[in-house]
Structures are given as structure tokens and as C-alpha cells.
Amino acid sequence: MLPAFLVPEITIDSNGSSAAIDLGDSGGEMLLLTLGILDIVEQESLDVTLWGSADGETWGAVPIRTFPQKFYCGTYQILCPLDAHPDIRYLRVDWKVHRWGVGSKTPMFKLYLFAEPFSGYASQKTA
């Protein structure tokens, strides 16, 4: 299933979630997550979390990975050790947005989230 967009390029203005993504044969791997923020308005923040599920229905009490809070456009990468969660077969992305200051209180982010197996990890595991 991977590499794949967990969240294809979208524009968001409220809190939300992606659809559940079936990992297929990619379960149990180390993943490299790439969050791209392409457009924003000033005085706003974005929180992005990754949730895992064994059945695609129950998502647990805590996310398996969280990006640090974002305020600016850019490309941000983090690793996600799915090998620490061998039961996870599905992933879901949640986002929360917040806007403050003068003018409209409606936030706006244009973003994507891409996941791919982290190729450098296999050689590190065997070394």
C-alpha cells in the first residue's frame, strides 16, 4: 500500500480526519512521514496526529505519532516506528486548527501528508 498520500493535497478550515488507510503489507515497518504545508494565513496553528488501529474501527486513547505544532509553510518530516505497534493495520490522520488575532477567525491551511517506508531503517536493524 505504501508509499501513499495519507492526506492528499487539501485546503482545510476546520478540525477533521482522513479516511482510514489500509497498510496492507506495510504494517510493522518504520515509516517516514512528510507533512507539506503549502499555504496559510497569519496567526494560526495546526496540530497533526497519526492514529493506528487493528480493525479500522477502534483508534485507541492516544495517537501513535504527533507532529510538533506548526505555524508556517514548509515541509516537515518525522519517523513513525510501526514496528513498535505490530497489531496496527490501519492509519488515520487527525488535524486541529486554531486562529487568533484580528480579522476573520476562520483558519486556512493547504497541506498534504505522505507516508513511505524508511529505507535506511532495515540496514540499521541488521547492523
Mean pLDDT of 1-29: 92
Q: Cα separations (Å) of 12 from 23, 49, 67?
A: 25, 15, 17
The Cα–Cα gap between 10 and 122 comes to: 32
The residues near 54 (Cβ < 8 Å, ≥ 6 apart) are: 87, 88, 89, 90
Predicted confidence band at 126 (pLDDT cuts at 50, 70, 90)? Answer: very low
pLDDT at residue 30, rounded to an integer: 92
Q: Cα separations (Å) of 34 from 8, 17, 101, 115?
A: 12, 17, 29, 6
Whether 2 has a pLDDT exceeding 80, the answer reads yes
Q: Are 15 and 97 in contact (CB under 8 A)?
A: yes
pTM of the model as a whole: 0.90
Q: Are 30 and 53 in contact (CB under 8 A)?
A: no
CATH topology for the 4-119 domain? Jelly Rolls (2.60.120)
C-alpha closest to that of 89 among 54, 39, 41, 57: 54
Whether 120 has a pLDDT exceeding 50, the answer reads yes
Average pLDDT of every residue of the chain:
92
Domain boundaries, the chain: 4-119
Mean pLDDT of 60-73: 97
pLDDT at residue 38, rounded to an integer: 98
Predicted confidence band at 5 (pLDDT cuts at 50, 70, 90)? Answer: very high
